[in-house]
Structure 1
Amino acid sequence: MTIPRRPEDITPAWLGSVLGTEVTAVQVTAIGTGQTGATYRVAAEYPAGAGAPPTFAVKLPAQDDAVRERVAFGYLSEVGFYSEVCEHVAIPVPSCFHSEISSDGSDFVLLLADMAPAEQGDQIAGCSPAEAALAVEALAGLHGPSWCDQRWCDLPSIVMPKPGDAEAAKGLGDIAAMAAGITLDKLGGSVGDEDRDTLTTSMSLVGPWLMAVPQRFSLMHGDYRLDNLLFDPDRTHVTVVDWQTIGVGLPARDLAYFTATSLLPDDRAGVERELVERYHTALVGYGVTDYDAETCWHDYRLGVLQAPLLTTLGYAFAASTERGDEMILTMLHRGCRAIRELDAIELVRSYQASTPSTG
């Protein structure tokens, strides 16, 4: 059967065909308000004794055709993650029952386990240190099993520049500087002078930043933050979703992006050393060697430029919404403050002299 394009295309016949069992009825309801994709909860009914799950989460492209075409590569990345990557890593993700995508990426479907009653993190409210500890340990389950494994550099659905690609690093650096300018123009006086300066300066250094330590890499989530995490009600388990920005790069970029944007700044400053140590211990548990705790802390400081990079890239070329603007302002302020407190700009500049061609 064809890939469902709209929620009304998720019929009993379609669901039954991909599950390999008879489905007598479905009820489809929207989950969330994703701007680059659409997610639905599907309640299914079966003949007696079928034994199939009663509910699923189904991801489809954005219902706006213009958005659908613009982010098709992200759809290719997410389907690629579930079909080619997830079985090789240990990060907790929903089980995938079916995935399918068109050749151009504009139509796709993911049939995933329904994680209810797990609750989505709140990017604006921030998380507790205990929730952050769960998140950083889960993240090590992506980085550790893929640590410095060259095969992932050949994955066709990689979004970010591959380690050591100077031309691609410079290209993303140019886009980052442009995105920072567009973001500041859109937000106007809502961004304070100190954050404005930090954002502009850090985004002007993205080229040399990407080239700083290409010898350390792993698979990256790319957008590892609270809105993409589902916490069990008792806060003992976390599940990671939204894999449209998968890449290969310095692992601690994911780590620093999470702590910088998802913790309240005072909380982050008080617990980040402990969180980095917890993450490093988890990496060692996955067999990562020749990577000591102080090098991990160095990479964490370096990686924090991921916060304004992803924030501005995501915002500059998207339509503004009230919650979206508030979230971006919150993430930018938290990220820029972390950059200053971790002295990350000077750390990048210390590498810039040895990679003048990227800056």
Structure 2
Amino acid sequence: MLSDLLGLTGRRVLSVRHEPVGSGQMAGSFRLTPTYDDGDGLPPTMVAKIAVGDASQRQFASGVFRNEVMFYRDLAPTLDVPVPACHAAEISTDATEFVLLLQDMAPAVQGDQIAGCTPQEARAVAVAAAGLHAPRWCDESLFDMRGLALPGHDDRLLMDSVLEPMAEAFRSRFDLGRREAAAIDWLVAEAGPWLERKPSTFAVIHSDLRIDNVLFGPGDTVTVVDWQTITVGNPLRDIAFLLSTSLSIADRREHERDIVGAYHKALVEKGVTGYSSEECWADYVDSLIQAPMIIVFGCGAAIPTERGDRMFRVMLERSAAAIDDLVPGALG
């Protein structure tokens, strides 16, 4: 099977060892160490990402499985964001089973969402994200790809139908402080109009750009992974989510303007025109709602774990502080 996935001709995989890696909650990742009959030029290790969970969980997640396979097959070659090389990308007809064989980025290590990251690390990720956004900036051909579209009124109605129940489930699951509870209330009140409003700029966005989804390597290199939640939207949704959930509150307050400025400079260097630094900052503030939205929906969709619960609490605490700091009157 592995020989077929790698497209080997005249050679084959004799055996393979595997060990779990990462902390994914929608899919499982395993480091594979194959033994070949002739390994010349073949990867000594690779990471296999596959669907996990029972049939109902995999059916629920079929859309995100399809997204990630599409990203590696069709989108990644058109972008400039650092990602692992993809050796194989296969998915079943109903999208409940998939396999990705990806470059093993060791000795790079996964970021820790709970511990957070340094301002220097956040800056490196934000600049890397410019390589995701700039190449397809306001590119309407994106809408020709399955599942990629700007949200419209029907999407708002669908979200409105599920957001309040999921927010209520989140409230009942966690003992929230005043500011965190107010952030959930603000999300429920504002998410519908925000989602339906057409952004002035758009690009492919990761939608879950946080340091759990980044590998940090030698020499301050970064690699972005976990492309299950790609969509089209305001690019600053990625930057707002990254900074408001991955930096400590104190570090964000001190460094976010500089980091957003570095991101904007990288956009310009990669060819984006007609987009000022003031517009970029305004979009950053307007996109802070991305964090509580992803936290509530992510918590509801993921298999509950002790680490996951800790992570969602920390992310909400940080993002609620950002909203309180930058969106006057939002949290009372």
Q: Give the structure-2-normalised TM-score.
A: 0.94
Q: How many Å separate the matches in 1 of 2:118 and 2:62? A: 34
Q: Is the 8 A contact 2:237 2:287 kept in 1?
A: yes
Superposition pairs of residues 96-135 of structure 1, within 5 angstroms: 96-135=86-125
1:144 aligns with 2:137: no
Aligned AA for 1:230? L
Q: Is the 8 A contact 2:26 2:302 kept in 1?
A: no
Could you say which residue in structure 2 is the equivalent of 1:163? 150
Aligned partner of residue 219 in structure 1, secondary structure: strand
1:231 aligns with 2:216: yes
Residues 1:201 and 1:322: Cα distance change in structure 2 (over 3 Å): same
Aligned partner of residue 164 in structure 2, secondary structure: helix
Tell me by how many angstroms 1:248 deviates. Answer: 0.3
Aligned AA for 1:103? T
Tell me by how many angstroms 1:175 deviates. Answer: 2.6
Residue 203 of structure 2 is aligned with which of 212, 218, 230? Answer: 218
Tell me by how many angstroms 1:201 deviates. Answer: 1.5
Aligned AA for 2:162? I
What percent of counterpart residues are identical?
40
Tell me by how many angstroms 1:223 deviates. Answer: 0.5
Count of residues paired in the alignment: 330
Q: How many Å separate the matches in 1 of 2:62 and 2:39? A: 39
Q: How many Å separate the matches in 2 of 1:259 and 1:290? A: 24
Q: How many Å separate the matches in 2 of 1:154 and 1:178? A: 33
1:244 aligns with 2:228: yes
Could you say which residue in structure 1 is the equivalent of 2:290? 306
Deviations along 1:306-347, whole A, 9 cap, x unmatched?
A: 00000100112434221111101000111111111111676x
Tell me by how many angstroms 1:42 deviates. Answer: 0.7
Superposition pairs of residues 134-213 of structure 1, within 5 angstroms: 134-158=124-148, 162-163=149-150, 165-187=152-174, 189=175, 191-213=176-198
Aligned partner of residue 92 in structure 1, secondary structure: coil
Q: Is the 8 A contact 1:119 1:230 kept in 2?
A: yes
1:268 aligns with 2:252: yes
Could you say which residue in structure 2 is the equivalent of 1:350? none
Q: Is the 8 A contact 2:22 2:110 kept in 1?
A: no
Aligned-residue CA RMSD in angstroms? 1.9
1:40 aligns with 2:30: yes
Aligned AA for 1:250? N
Tell me by how many angstroms 1:141 deviates. Answer: 0.6
Deviations along 1:39-66, whole A, 9 cap, x unmatched?
A: 1111112235622110000111014333
Tell me by how many angstroms 1:180 deviates. Answer: 1.6
Residues 1:344 and 1:216: Cα distance change in structure 2 (over 3 Å): farther
Q: Is the 8 A contact 1:176 1:204 kept in 2?
A: no
Residues 1:13 and 1:179: Cα distance change in structure 2 (over 3 Å): same
Tell me by how many angstroms 1:68 deviates. Answer: 1.3
Aligned AA for 2:277? A
Provide structure 1 residue ranges, at least 5 long, that are not aligned to the other structure: 1-10, 347-359
Residues 1:58 and 1:345: Cα distance change in structure 2 (over 3 Å): farther
Q: Is the 8 A contact 1:38 1:62 kept in 2?
A: yes
After superposing the two structures, state which structure 1 stretch, 323-332 or 194-203, moved more.
Answer: 194-203
Provide structure 2 residue ranges, at least 5 long, that are not aligned to the other structure: none
Q: Is the 8 A contact 1:119 1:233 kept in 2?
A: no
Q: Is the 8 A contact 2:29 2:50 kept in 1?
A: yes
Residues 1:344 and 1:163: Cα distance change in structure 2 (over 3 Å): farther
Aligned partner of residue 13 in structure 2, secondary structure: coil
Could you say which residue in structure 2 is the equivalent of 1:52? 42
Deviations along 1:207-243, whole A, 9 cap, x unmatched?
A: 1112334231111101100110000044x11001111
Q: How many Å separate the matches in 2 of 1:220 and 1:344? A: 26
Q: Give the structure-1-normalised TM-score.
A: 0.87
Q: How many Å separate the matches in 2 of 1:296 and 1:306? A: 16
Aligned partner of residue 115 in structure 2, secondary structure: coil
Tell me by how many angstroms 1:280 deviates. Answer: 0.4
Residues 1:87 and 1:12: Cα distance change in structure 2 (over 3 Å): closer
Aligned AA for 1:302? D
Aligned AA for 1:228? N
Aligned partner of residue 120 in structure 2, secondary structure: helix
1:292 aligns with 2:292: no
